[in-house]
Amino acid sequence: MRDVSMPRAYAPEHWLAWLFAAGAIALATLGVLQGFDVIDFRSGEGLGVQAGDGGAAQNFQDGALLLVPAIISSLLALTLHQVEHHRVSMNREERAGGVRGAEGREYGVSRGEAALWNLEHGLAYIGGLATVVWGALTILVGFDVFDNGNDWRDGLTWGILGIVSGLLTHTLHSVSHHMPAVAAEEAEIRMIVEERVGQAFQRGRLHHESAGAGLTKP
């Protein structure tokens, strides 16, 4: 009997995914409302946002400064919600006894694959933190909160960098291909399903033949 579990150290990823998803929904909603001039951040007092001259162009620019971070937050939510590679699948006896396979393999994963898994996963965390920073700068710089004379183009530059960083983070976090045991287990499940389906068809054919034989009796 195989047991599938996820180490506690990686459990927060799932909840962070929900947090980034909620943030993406909030930012997207605000971006649409700002873009259609339903709300106007530049007219608010005490927000630290530089006043604008209004108009459709200004509304679109300000809406984009919120929608791009929404895309970035969505990428991080997608990345952190894919936690299948954290699920450790092994026999209960192997987990209890710490049994290692041949040629230095532990639970079907070679040392080299495990090293790549750890390296890519660590780089994904660094990329994720950088992506959060780029997303925040998109809003802060785009709305010139720092009062440095920046405009929406400067903010979107950081936003595009955040999208690139988010895609790279997602790429590095997709490390399931370094777990041969997962692929082997999927193949085993597929074989079992195909066998069960074949048996069901065989029983159906025999039942149909026996029923047909009964109908042809004089």
What CA–CA distance (Å, rounded) separates 207 from 218?
20
Q: Could you tell me what percent of the chain has a pLDDT over 70? A: 63
| 88 sits in which H/E element | strand 88-91
- Token pair 């009062």 is found at 147
Average pLDDT, the chain: 76
Q: What is the largest CA-CA distance in the chain?
A: 99
pTM to 2 decimal places: 0.67
Q: How far apart are the C-alpha atoms of 66 and 82, rounded to whole Å?
A: 25
The answer, yes or no, to whether residue 96 has pLDDT greater than 50, is no
Q: How confident is the model at residue 185 (pLDDT cuts 50, 70, 90)?
A: low
Do 178 and 107 form a contact (C-beta atoms < 8 A)? no
Give backbone dihedrals phi and psi of 150, rounded to 5 degrees, phi first.
-80, 155
Give bridge partners of residue 88 from the DSSP assignment.
5
CA atoms within 13 A on the CB side of 37: 9
Lowest mean pLDDT among 118-122, 154-158, 181-185, 200-204: 181-185
Average pLDDT over residues 4-14: 63
